[in-house]
Structure 1
Amino acid sequence: MQQPHAAPTPVPSIVMPDAFVSAMNGFERYQRLERARSEHTLRAYRSDLENLLRECASRQVTTVEGIDLTLLRLWMGGLQELGLSRSTLARRSATARTFFGWARREGLVAIDPASRLRSPVPDQKLPHVLQRQQVDRLLQVRTVAQVDGASGQPSVEQKAVRDRDHALLELLYATGIRVGELVTLDLESVDHDRRTLRVLGKGDKERTVPFGQPALNALDDWLRRGRGVLAVAGSGSALFLGVRGGRLGQRQVREIVSKALEELGDTAARGPHALRHTAATHLLDGGADLRAVQEYLGHSSLATTQRYTHVSVERLRESYQRAHPRA
């Protein structure tokens, strides 16, 4: 294997060898059809693999069998020099191990070079969680900043967008669902009488998630007053719609939530996942059973859910420091 031992410099424009394209497509088919990975996971796998294989191609390596542990370590070292976070580095090394484990089973390599590739320990930062008073302020029916130029009042479409944004904020906090789960909801996903959602989570696992009366009220307002304004012939059964009538996308939801959180002015929390963190933490603060919260969030492992207990303990410690006379 011919390669200099200098830090790698990724070359995005380099042509991908046919052997790499074939292996990458085969790995993706396996993950989609046999492992039932979500489109989000598949995109992450493909992005990580393209980064690795283009780096290998830039070093004149054109077959999967030609990749060795030294090259993998150089690739990881170069990524570290680029300043990627430890969690991103950990994900990319995990992708490499998963890919080469598959390649070994498929006979593309005789020896798995990634079996000894060490993974950085991801940063264990506690997520930002909103206080209950902040949640109350966030979920107040918000006025529309822009108004119709002629009347000086919000337009019908702007009112519909306001109802939509209020409903999705209420639902994200009420259920703790992921943004990817929110945007796949259909009208029939909602049981209004039982106040539950039928959610399709990671690995195509379906679960039922309860929500409260405030979220139901906001949903009813959106469905009664707003959805019909934005709906078009091709809207189908999507629960949440964009301004052009199509199904609302993940990027749009992230922008909506981040803007709403930014307008609070007193929190570093950003994005829909902050509401998921907040919902889980508030459940545990209120005495909810850990396994119930695991089912509520759709976690496959209880260890993932246990992370939120650390958040709750930290919040308890902060309250103690502020309030106890001998803190």
Structure 2
Amino acid sequence: MSGDLLPYVGDRLSQARNFSGLTDEALRVRAVTAARDKAFEDLWALTLAYLTTDTSGGVRLSPHTLRAYRKGVEVLITHATEHGWNLLHPGRREPGLYVAGLVQSGLKPATVQARVAAASALYRALRWAGATDADPFADVKRPKDRTKGIVKNPPYRSDFVQALLAEADPHERVLLLLLTHAGLRIAEALGVDWAHVDLDRRRLLVAHGKGDKARRVPLSARLREALEAVRPAMPSGPVLPWRAYSTAYSRLQKLALKCGREHEFRGFHAGRKYAGTQLYAATRDFTRVAGFLGHEQVDTTRRYVELPEDDLDDVVEGFR
């Protein structure tokens, strides 16, 4: 066994230091070698180090976002290997052909856009390491999805939410209500700590929202009741017993299966849209809904609210 000391790689920041702590020349050589060999694990580690230390999201990038980046880098490296790319000096038309191939394979526009975002992140990391000046995806046309998100993935229906709540265990009920009543993103829901919960004032602090922005949201009576049911004698630490996205997804998926409605389960975001749609129906104010959901732009909020088809019937009825 070698007596060499291995660097600690127990968390993202420690892993990032394996790259960021190198001299400029050592970092460049390591990146050039990984690109030459099309070594996916090394290239992903380089990309992760860049994302962790040199982007606005930094160490707070969500696991869901990182999974999408990792998959996108893996797909690009596989394509580059199969088609003989020189990663450091790609041909001028190769990135466009790559995107066209993704579209032809039947991927949805949003998935293609995510793959291109990951490829762009890899090249930003290679430039950060001094391995190349190439920015091959800068001018590549990305497919646009003409179908509105609210149509593709509408809010959950009330009867589905109520069915899940009726069968949920106490912690599953809290998770469901954090999504459908508090309007939290899944990463925000999994990150709720008892220190963030103020049952007396009926408020919840979202300490680390998207972009690391904090906000406060009101707690519904039903959510307060659910939190009371799981609150320990000395509340401290995380509210939910799971931190992994995959575990939460599996719990709700199995819950839908238990209700015989597994075909209606569409992940977490439809629950957040349920909250936004309910709030808009009560307030008719996109600005207030935007603040509640943690959106900087009201136009984003419009994609979260499903308007009833008969929304204008009474107004039009009185036209003269």
- Aligned partner of 2:237 in structure 1 is 237
Correspondence for 1:59 among 78, 83, 100: 83
Correspondence for 1:162 among 166, 169, 172: 169
- Separation (CA, whole Å) in 1 of partners of 2:80 and 2:178: 45
Contact 1:173/1:278, CA 8 A, preserved across alignment: yes
In the TM superposition, what is the alpha-carbon distance from 1:48 to its structure 2 partner? 0.7
Q: TM-score, normalising length from structure 1?
A: 0.70
In the TM superposition, what is the alpha-carbon distance from 1:179 to its structure 2 partner? 1.5
- Aligned partner of 1:251 in structure 2 is 246
Correspondence for 1:221 among 202, 224, 229: 229
- Aligned partner of 2:272 in structure 1 is 276
Whether 1:119 aligns to 2:127 is no
Code of the aligned partner of 1:182? A
- Aligned partner of 2:102 in structure 1 is 79
CA pair 264-281 structure 1, distance change in 2 beyond 3 A: farther
- Separation (CA, whole Å) in 2 of partners of 1:290 and 1:32: 34
- CA RMSD in angstroms comes to 3.4
Whether 1:187 aligns to 2:226 is no
Counterpart secondary structure, 2:304: helix
Between 1:293-302 and 1:22-31, the stretch displaced more is: 22-31
- Aligned partner of 2:291 in structure 1 is 295
Code of the aligned partner of 2:47? F
Correspondence for 2:212 among 204, 212, 221: 204
Matched residue pairs, number? 272
Contact 1:184/1:238, CA 8 A, preserved across alignment: yes
Q: Which runs of 5+ in 2 are unaligned?
A: 1-33
CA pair 209-91 structure 1, distance change in 2 beyond 3 A: same
In the TM superposition, what is the alpha-carbon distance from 1:216 to its structure 2 partner? 0.6
In the TM superposition, what is the alpha-carbon distance from 1:284 to its structure 2 partner? 0.9
Q: TM-score, normalising length from structure 2?
A: 0.72
CA pair 116-20 structure 1, distance change in 2 beyond 3 A: farther
- Separation (CA, whole Å) in 2 of partners of 1:49 and 1:300: 29
- Give me the identity figure in percent: 26
In the TM superposition, what is the alpha-carbon distance from 1:221 to its structure 2 partner? 1.1
- Aligned partner of 2:5 in structure 1 is none
- Aligned partner of 1:44 in structure 2 is 68
- Separation (CA, whole Å) in 2 of partners of 1:283 and 1:320: 21
In the TM superposition, what is the alpha-carbon distance from 1:49 to its structure 2 partner? 1.5
- Separation (CA, whole Å) in 2 of partners of 1:302 and 1:319: 21
Contact 1:93/1:118, CA 8 A, preserved across alignment: no
In the TM superposition, what is the alpha-carbon distance from 1:24 to its structure 2 partner? 4.4
Counterpart secondary structure, 1:56: helix
- Separation (CA, whole Å) in 1 of partners of 2:172 and 2:189: 12
CA pair 134-55 structure 1, distance change in 2 beyond 3 A: closer
In the TM superposition, what is the alpha-carbon distance from 1:115 to its structure 2 partner? 2.0
Counterpart secondary structure, 2:143: coil
- Separation (CA, whole Å) in 2 of partners of 1:52 and 1:132: 41
Contact 2:185/2:272, CA 8 A, preserved across alignment: yes
CA pair 283-107 structure 1, distance change in 2 beyond 3 A: same
CA pair 181-192 structure 1, distance change in 2 beyond 3 A: same
Code of the aligned partner of 2:266? R
Code of the aligned partner of 2:190? V
- Aligned partner of 2:7 in structure 1 is none
Counterpart secondary structure, 2:295: coil
In the TM superposition, what is the alpha-carbon distance from 1:198 to its structure 2 partner? 2.0
